[in-house]
Amino acid sequence: MEPRAALLGGRSVLRISGRDARSFLQGLVTNDVEALKQGEGRFAALLTPQGKILFDFFVTPDGDALLIDCNASQAADLAKRLGFYRLRADVRIANESASLAVAAFRETPPPAQALAFTDPRHEGMGWRVIGAPDELDRLGVVAGLDDAYAAHRIALGVPEGGADFAYGDTFPHEANMDLVHGVDFKKGCYIGQEVVSRVEHRGTARKRIVRVGFSGPAPGVGMEISAGDLPVGQMGSSAGQEGLALVRLDRFAEAMGPITAGAVALTYLGGGR
């Protein structure tokens, strides 16, 4: 059964506070966070100067502060990286992963008093809630549903960093961030903006994450995808008989023979453009 309220064990929470918190983050990340209202959330990324994704995360207000819902394995590094850019800004960066957790709600919205926002990546992803573990328990959040949550995400074609693309080696368009509302092309400058804007205006994204189907055991994450002897991409996460794959769109579309990951034949289910 798909989770209605699933504890997302692989997430951590950072708090950005201080007088300059919003303007500080606004000048760094791919999305517009300065105009965020309580109960809203944005999906965004912090890039290298060359425009590749270092970290991706959600941002939502908590009073005058901003909370960052990020990959737990990256929380310490993200806090450290943000600290590099702080300089003289009135900003405090705190890792609150010991006191706050993240949950995903499906179908039924969370109670009004919860610190919650609609997952902006896809309307089928429901709501994300940040709260103390005991508070999430009272809201009926259940642990151990990560696989069911991942299956739902994969079925909707929503990529996840570290599973479907490599941090530090992937451009936002390749990770479909422009398609899942992770980039604001009208906001002011941020790190890596020139590269991202150039790809958008020229329409030159050669790689995209697409949905694929297969029979039998799932190909492993990172397994090379080939059309005959021609490499066309790499496999990402899978659930059931579906998965996500980062592929070269031209090679994938022009493949004359079967497309395989190892010995597993793949079929195209949608995505990319």
* CA separation for the pair 134, 150 (Å, rounded): 24
* CA separation for the pair 153, 121 (Å, rounded): 10
Ranges of each domain in the chain:
5-155, 206-270
> What percentage of the chain reaches a pLDDT higher than 90?
86
Of 169, 165, 172, the closest CA to residue 194 belongs to: 172
Q: In this model, does residue 3 exceed pLDDT 80?
A: no
Length of the chain: 273
Give ∠ CA 206-210-213 in degrees, rounded to 5.
140
CATH of domain 206-270: 2.40.30
- If one counts every other C-beta atom within 10 angstroms of the C-beta of residue 39, the result is 13
Of 87, 79, 89, the closest CA to residue 21 belongs to: 89
Give the pLDDT score at 2: 45
pLDDT in tens, 8-64: 999 999 999 999 999 999 999 999 999 999 999 999 999 999 999 999 999 999 999
Q: What is the pTM of this model?
A: 0.95
Query: Which CATH superfamily hosts domain 5-155?
Result: Probable tRNA modification gtpase trme; domain 1 (3.30.1360.120)
Residue 131: pLDDT band with limits 50, 70, 90: very high
pLDDT in tens, 104-120: 998 889 998 899 999 99
CA 193 to chain centre: 18
